Every structure is written in C-alpha cells, then in structure tokens.
Amino acid sequence: MSIIKGFSKISKSEKIGLILKSIEAEKSCSLIETEYKDSQLQKQFEGLSENTIANFHLPFGVAPNFLINNHSYTVPMVTEESSVVAAAAKGAKFWSEHGGFQAKVISETKVGHVYFSFDLDFKIIEAIFNNAKMDLLNSTTHITKNMDVRGGGILSLELLKVESLNDTYKIELKVNTCDAMGANFINSILENLAGNFTRKVRQAHFENHFKVIFSILSNYTPACIVESSVSLNIKTIEEIDGMSGRDFFHKFKKAVDIACFDRDRAVTHNKGIMNGIDALVLATGNDFRAVEASAHAYAARDGRYQSLSRAEIVNDNFKFSITLPLALGTVGGLTKLHPLSALSLDILKKPKANELMQIAASVGLAQNFSAIRSLITTGIQKGHMKMHLLNILNQLNASDEQIELAKQHFSDKAISFSAVRDFLAV
Amino acid sequence: MSIIKGFSKISKSEKIGLILKSIEAEKSCSLIETEYKDSQLQKQFEGLSENTIANFHLPFGVAPNFLINNHSYTVPMVTEESSVVAAAAKGAKFWSEHGGFQAKVISETKVGHVYFSFDLDFKIIEAIFNNAKMDLLNSTTHITKNMDVRGGGILSLELLKVESLNDTYKIELKVNTCDAMGANFINSILENLAGNFTRKVRQAHFENHFKVIFSILSNYTPACIVESSVSLNIKTIEEIDGMSGRDFFHKFKKAVDIACFDRDRAVTHNKGIMNGIDALVLATGNDFRAVEASAHAYAARDGRYQSLSRAEIVNDNFKFSITLPLALGTVGGLTKLHPLSALSLDILKKPKANELMQIAASVGLAQNFSAIRSLITTGIQKGHMKMHLLNILNQLNASDEQIELAKQHFSDKAISFSAVRDFLAV
C-alpha cells in the first residue's frame, strides 16, 4: 500500500469509505449507529481527537454505597472488564457497614522541568539562575494570574543536576494546580521559563555553552499523594464467606504481605487496584495513562516494585490501607467537554480535585479488598466466570432458554469457552 | 444516605431514575441517546459489565501509514487525549518514508502461581511436589486440550520460594496461550492445580501444615516481550523541523538519554509511549490495566525506573528502539464480543496475537518519536494546544465565525483557557 497523504484532511465519510473498502461493508452500520443524535454534540465529540470515524463504547456503570469520610457516594465507573463494577460495589457495601473509608490528601504538589545542557562549570549556570530567578517568576504572571486567584500557582523554582548525565541540568518547577489536572498550565509556564532563561543566559554571554533540550511536566507525582483506609476489630466478624473473621483477616493479611514481597504478585495486585481507579478516572474525563504511570513508578520507588496497599493486624484490629499518587482534575481538560464526564462529576456531587482523589483511592482499596476476598475464599474464577458466562453465551448466539439452562448447569461447574460450546451443542 | 440494597437487581431504568433523582433531569437525554439502535446489540453490550446505565463514548480514530516488517497497517485507536492520534499518524508517516518499523516477538511465555504456606522443612513439600508433578500436569488436560491443539499449553511447572516471607511458596506455571490473552485459561488451570496439589498433600498426611493462599495469573510478563525499531543514516536527512538531520537526531538521542537516567522524565516519557499503545489496546478489546502494570514494572525491573525506549547513534546511523512486555489477545475476551473491537481487528486484517504485539510496540515507538520530536523543536504546547483550541472554543459555545477568527488569532500565540475566553469577550 502506498502512503496515504492528507488523510486527516478528508471528510469523515471519505475516511470511513477508505477503511471499509477492504473489509466487509456490513460492518459500516455499527460504525454510524453509535453517533450522538444531536449533531452539534457529535461534532464537538469528534473534535476531541483526530481522524475520528466513530464513537467507541465502553459500559458506563455505577457502584453505589461508597461511604468515605462519612459522605455517601455513588461512583461512576467505565470499564470493559466484567466483575470490576460488581467487585467495587461489593467492597463498598461491606465497608459501609463497618465504618466506611477514611481518606485524606497528604499533599497536592505537581512538578515540571526545563531540561538543558551546559558544558562549563555548574557554578556559572547556578549563578545565572539565582540572579534570574525573580525575573523568571515575574515573567509568568500572565499565565498564573487565574490560578493565583484560585489559591494555586507556583510554589518553587529550583536548579538541579540530572543524575549520571554529564552537563545536563533541570529547572524544577513546583506548582499547585487547584482543581485542574494542570498539564497545559504547567507546560505553558515551563515553555515560558525556558525562553526567558535562554535570554538570561544570552545576556550573560554564555549562549554558546547552553542549550534547552525540552520543557515538560512530570507525570511522576510522588508529592501529589492520597491515602485511604478501612479498619475493624476482627472479633466483631463472626463469619465471612464460610470462614471465621479471625481466619479470614489473617489469611487476607498474608495475601497482602505476599504482594509486598513478591513482584509477580505485586504487579497483578496493583493492576487490580487500578481496575477500580481507572474506571473512575475514565468516567470523569481524566487521563488514565498519567495515573497508571505515576502509580506503578511509585510502587517501585524504593527500588523494589511492591504493593500499593498494606494490611496489618494489631491486637485484633485489622487495618487495610492504600497510599498512592493521583493527579486528577475536576475542571479543565475533558471534564466538562465530554457530556458523560460532566454527568459523572454531577453523580459525585461536583467534587473538588482533592475530594476526587480520596474517592479514587477508596475505590482502588474497595476493588483490592473484593479481589483478595474472592482469591482467598472461592477463587477468582467463580465470580469472574459467572459474569463472563453471559458474554460467552451471547457470543455463541444462545437463546434465552439456552441461557437459563446454561446458568443452572454451570452454577457448580468450571466455565470455559469450550465447556459452554460443548454444553450448547448437546 | 442509607445503604442501597439490591441495586444490581433493579432494572436499568430504575437505576437511572435513582441516579438522576438528585441531579438535573435534563442530563437524562445524553444518557439514553448513546444506546445502540439494535436492542439485541445493546443488551449484549450492557452484559459486559454490571450496573450499566449507559454507553460511555471515546473517540474511535485511525492512524494510517504504519509500515511494519514491510506490511502496511491502518491502526485503530481509542483515546480521549487530543493529539495522540495525530502524533501516531505523523510518526508512522515519517518512518514509512524511511524504511518502516522492524518488529519481532522475543518470547510469548505467560505465568501464573499457586501461593501456599507450609510450616515444616521445605524439602518435605518439595518431595511431595516432585512426586505429584506428572499427576498434576495430567489432571489439567481437560482444560488445556483445545490450547494444545492450537500449539499452546503448559510449558513448565516449578516450585519456588517467596522471597523474604517465611513458610511461603509458590508453584509457578508457565504457559503459551497462543492468540488468547489467556487470563481465564491460566486461572482455570491454577485453581485446578491448587485443588489437586492439596489432595496430594493430604494423601501424604501433611495437610495440617499446609494451606493454599490463592491462585492467580501474573500480569507481570517479562517473558512475553516484543521489540520494535527504526533506523536511518542521519546524513540522509538534510532538514527536519528547521534543524539539520545531525542536530535533530543528536538532540533527540540526548532527550531519550535523559529518560534513561532521570525518573521524573522516564515516567512521563513512558506515559507518552503508553498513550499510543493503550489506544490500540482499547480499540482491540484488550485490557489496558494489565498492559500498563506490566510495562511500568518492567521499566523498573533493574531497581531503577527508566525509559522503555533507547536511542543510539553509531557512525551516523541513528537507531531508535523499544522493548516491552505486551500480553495481548486477538481471540477470546472482548475481542469478538465488542462490535467495534471486532471491527478494529478487521481493520488490522485479523492479526495473530504476536502480530498485534509488534503493531502495538511500533505504535508506542511512533508515539514516542513524535512526542520527542515536538518537545525538542516547537515544544509540546504548540501542537497540543492547537488541537485543544477547538475544545476550548466548543466549550465556550463559539460560533463558526468566532472559531475561524480564533484559529487565525492564536496561530502564533500561546493558548490558554483564559486567553481564549478573553479573545471571545472582545
């Protein structure tokens, strides 16, 4: 195939035509069927990205009964994975009956950097930076004025060396972005700083030794941290899933401990936490790649990748907690542009960003609780495959009668695609 | 608010009613407007998750001109972030004119574990395991028979200690899951193994010292690895974005080197790679949380979190490459169940899983290339904000005429929400 030139410039129907040319034409219906009826809304939606040919769907569900800091929430979740919403709801319900989640934001600082090279003594560029610092800060006021009014803005500006790389340095900007995720805000300040710092270096006649490499926010946000925890006295739980409270919570702690020491498990354990958090992140129009990158890098912050959650039992008191970085926004970005993101924030009663952080951490903890609860009792497959059975049956075009028979048949049997297919073939 | 009981059991319209009760009623239209016209399709779609009240949309776009191992692909991408599809397409086009991507799968092994505790000498449980091993393997044939036929199945079964935890061990299962992501397959085998191993321990009369803790696949897949690379002679590039080929590619290498040594940058750098990969993962009905967790843990595999991509220049030869774990499937799971995932796989000409791994790695590399290209030349804000300008204008309900005027006005100015609002207010 030759290179397609100007693909982004042709109309949407021409794009669809080009793409469908080589595949079955009947598929086209599912493409256009998914548009908004309101053409203005559809146009706005398509403008979110480039070369948009359709609206991709993911199930938009809700997990009720989250009790966090004595507030009750119904949490909007967008996920394609069966059992994620069910597990979050189950975890939320259990803990709402046992005091709920206690969540708090530890700090909300975000960072960005101007990276540059300088091939003379560090002291020279350090002196130029220190002299320029106030001017650099003053030069950004046209960008920060609105954020300043809201109580945010620049917290500090520092010159640092880049470890292990000769002649390479960074200006570190720390900011508070209030209720915005803040990527555009931070990048705009940084690019402005880079230009003004270059002028300062030129004025000092060192421009031949200096080069800005790039300016960008960091998605690693170990100073934008939230924690959430649940606790109970294990003696108050007589029975849970056929186990005594004592046996259950000690086994539970063992399962969490394994995720603290065993990397193979830690990754899967944290993936389960993110199942819940990402579903809320997607629902509220936030950026799940940013959240994922920061969370997993944070899990490896000590040089050993480990669980984001911790369990302890002291004097029969069980405490289960999570601490992780979450750079979320409730204004700006997509939060208002996407009609269903706006709805998600409405369902959450229009939270501030730091409240959304607390909700997200609690959802992650609830998700983790339910996953471990299943793992250490019935096993993960029972609940998961029960949800997936319907998917398999739909894929095999089972009738309503067959679906009912299959549900009964597989209520006490291992479910696999081939087992379901064999059952239907009888 | 009191705890809602049986929320999952009430009808969808009752769920929507409950949720909308406390927020503006007019929002309801955007909820129901997003359903499939085909009610059977809608029912199947809602069955994917629990408590589904609507279909959440993300733009479904395509990036044409990916040349990978001399095959041409148009890559389906689902993302809410403006500029991701545009950047992928730009990177693909550049490299299709310079030899394309060379990709290969290094290995495709996936793992899972049965974790258990045993409080006597390790040698005892080791002997029981070794004696039981063949029986354990034979006991899984009813689960593996279809995978065996397709050329996959169990590769090995091993007993290992869990580091730093006393009395804690794991049976490690290695498998080839062919074109399936394989989570259900692996978990089914593991739960079967756990049950049968427990019986073996009981037969040896050590059941009082033994307890299965849980059985689960690992999302950490460092043996399910793919690499992709591009290369060119920098002397053949006379000019790129106003720079000489030599200056551009040396600055490019410096930017990648920073991401190898500086964690603040590495996280953001890898986040950019995942922008592209996740968009393809979502489009093809794969699980982005699994892919994210494995990729970032792999980035930290040596105890230091670093870039997933590498750049080198040897004798004027520039090579840019990526190596990462990607456990993807092209059969099973949602791949066929979601009409648009099935369409995505059709657009890619129905790839095998290892071909999809190569495409995904190449998309990640293209995304990374374009992001760094922007960063080291015009800066990230110019392209990004150009895409975002339209979002801001739509949010401010700008007329078509205002949109045209704003595009002209901001073609050479910094774009921010307040600047656009001020411009419209004039």
CATH number for position A237? 3.90.770.10
Q: Which of A264, A278, A338, A376 should be substituted to probe chain B, the one whose Cβ sees the most B Cβ atoms within 10 Å?
A: A264
Q: Is B206 on the interface with A (CB under 8 A)?
A: no
Higher-confidence residue of B110 and A31: namely B110
Structural contact between residues A212 and A225, judged by C-beta atoms closer than 8 angstroms: no
Q: Is B381 on the interface with A (CB under 8 A)?
A: yes
C-alpha to C-alpha distance for A396 and A425, rounded to whole angstroms: 10
- Are B254 and A168 a contacting pair at CB < 8 A? yes
Same domain, B100 and B235: yes
Catalytic residue check, A271: yes
Residue B98: pLDDT band with limits 50, 70, 90: very high
Q: What share of chain B in percent tops pLDDT 70?
A: 97
Give residue A140's Cα distance to chain centre. Answer: 30
Number of H helices, E strands in chain A: 15, 12
Same domain, B68 and B19: no
Q: Is A421 on the interface with B (CB under 8 A)?
A: no
Out of B43, B271, B349, B407, pick the active-site residue. B271
Among A217, A247, A265, give the residue marking a domain's end: A217
User: CA-CA distances (angstroms) from residue B114 to A96, A141, A258, B207?
Assistant: 32, 58, 12, 16
User: CA-CA distances (angstroms) from residue B381 to A86, A302, B403?
Assistant: 40, 33, 19
Reported as type and span, the H/E element at residue B230 is strand B224-233
C-alpha to C-alpha distance for B267 and B372, rounded to whole angstroms: 14
Provide the chain A residues 349-368 that lie in CB contact (below 8 A) with chain B. Answer: 349
Q: Is B127 on the interface with A (CB under 8 A)?
A: no
- Are A48 and B82 a contacting pair at CB < 8 A? yes
Tell whether the model's pLDDT for residue B232 goes beyond 90: yes
How high is the mean pLDDT of chain A? 92
Residue A233: pLDDT band with limits 50, 70, 90: very high
Q: Is B154 on the interface with A (CB under 8 A)?
A: no
pLDDT at residue A101 in the model: 98
Q: Is B139 on the interface with A (CB under 8 A)?
A: no
Q: Which residue has the tokens 């405490």?
A: A319
Alpha-carbon distance A363 to nearest alpha carbon in chain B (angstroms): 15
Same domain, B199 and B152: yes
| For range B359-376, the mean pLDDT | 98
Tell whether the model's pLDDT for residue B217 goes beyond 60: yes
Catalytic residue check, B271: yes
Write out pLDDT tens, residues B271-303. 999 999 999 999 999 999 999 999 999 999 999
Give the ipTM of the model, two decimals please: 0.94
Q: Which of B133-147, B227-241, B381-395 is predicted with the least confidence, judged by mean pLDDT?
A: B381-395
pLDDT at residue A22 in the model: 67
B3, B8, B11, B12 alpha-carbon torsion, rounded to 10°: 100
| For range B29-53, the mean pLDDT | 78
Tell whether the model's pLDDT for residue B209 goes beyond 80: yes
Same domain, A268 and A286: yes
- Are B165 and A257 a contacting pair at CB < 8 A? yes
Domain containing residue A173? 110-217
Does some domain include residue A402? yes
Provide the chain B residues 395-414 that lie in CB contact (below 8 A) with chain A. Answer: 395, 414
Does some domain include residue A49? no
Catalytic residue check, B142: no
C-alpha to C-alpha distance for A12 and A10, rounded to whole angstroms: 7
Show Cβ contacts of residue A187 under 8 Å, excluding neighbours closer than 6 positions: A112, A215, A216, A217, B379, B380, B381, B384
Does some domain include residue B371? yes
Of A1, A385, A394, the CB nearest to B47: A394
Out of A81, A172, A191, A247, pick the active-site residue. A81
Tell whether the model's pLDDT for residue B267 goes beyond 60: yes
Q: Which two tokens stand for residue B339?
A: 């009409």
Tell whether the model's pLDDT for residue A4 goes beyond 80: no
User: CA-CA distances (angstroms) from residue B65 to A327, B18, B92, B366, B373?
Assistant: 34, 47, 6, 11, 18
Write out pLDDT tens, residues B115-149. 999 999 999 999 999 999 999 999 999 999 989 99
Reported as type and span, the H/E element at residue A217 is strand A210-217
pLDDT at residue A30 in the model: 62
How high is the mean pLDDT of chain B? 92
| For range B57-79, the mean pLDDT | 95
Q: Which of A5, A165, A192, A214 should be substituted to probe chain B, the one whose Cβ sees the most B Cβ atoms within 10 Å?
A: A214
Burial of A415 (0-12, 13-18, 19+ CB in 10 A): buried
- Are B34 and A270 a contacting pair at CB < 8 A? no
Among candidate residues B347, B225, B224, the one with its CA nearest the CA of residue B285: B347
Same domain, B19 and B84: no
Structural contact between residues B190 and B114, judged by C-beta atoms closer than 8 angstroms: yes
Same domain, B334 and B282: yes
Does some domain include residue B122? yes
Residue A225: beta bridge partners?
A107, A325
Alpha-carbon distance A190 to nearest alpha carbon in chain B (angstroms): 10
Same domain, B373 and B241: yes
Q: Is B275 on the interface with A (CB under 8 A)?
A: yes
Same domain, A319 and A293: yes
Does some domain include residue B53? no
Q: Is A331 on the interface with B (CB under 8 A)?
A: no
Q: What share of chain A in percent tops pLDDT 90?
A: 71
Q: What share of chain A in percent tops pLDDT 70?
A: 97
User: What residues in B contact A21, CB-CB < 8 Å?
Assistant: none
Write out pLDDT tens, residues A247-258. 999 999 999 999
Q: State the CB neighbour count (10 A cutoff) for residue A421.
A: 13
Of A49, A56, A213, the CB nearest to B251: A213
User: What residues in A contact B97, CB-CB < 8 Å?
Assistant: 3
Tell whether the model's pLDDT for residue A338 goes beyond 90: no
User: What residues in A contact B172, CB-CB < 8 Å?
Assistant: 264
Same domain, B388 and B375: no
Q: Is A378 on the interface with B (CB under 8 A)?
A: no
Give residue A12's Cα distance to chain centre. Answer: 31
Catalytic residue check, A205: no
Does some domain include residue B47? no
Q: Which two tokens stand for residue A47?
A: 């403008």
Residue A419: pLDDT band with limits 50, 70, 90: confident
Does some domain include residue B206? yes
Among A152, A184, A217, give the residue marking a domain's end: A217
Tell whether the model's pLDDT for residue A322 goes beyond 90: yes
**Residue of chain A with shortest Cα separation from B336:** A395
Write out pLDDT tens, residues B309-367. 999 999 999 999 999 999 999 998 888 888 889 899 999 999 999 999 999 999 999 99
| For range A282-289, the mean pLDDT | 97
Write out pLDDT tens, residues A123-160. 999 999 999 999 999 999 999 998 999 999 999 999 99
Alpha-helical (H) ranges within A319-379 are 339-347, 353-376
Sheet holding A309-314, edge to edge: A102-108, A224-233, A317-325, A309-314
Among B217, B250, B285, give the residue marking a domain's end: B217
Same domain, A83 and A185: no
User: What residues in B contact A96, CB-CB < 8 Å?
Assistant: 3
Does some domain include residue A117? yes
**Residue of chain B with shortest Cα separation from A93:** B3
Domain count for chain A, please give it. Answer: 4
User: CA-CA distances (angstroms) from residue B141 to A149, B151, B301, B350?
Assistant: 67, 14, 34, 29
Same domain, A373 and A388: no
| DSSP letter for each residue of B34-56 | TS-SSHHHHHHHHTTSSSEEEEE
Same domain, A394 and A368: no
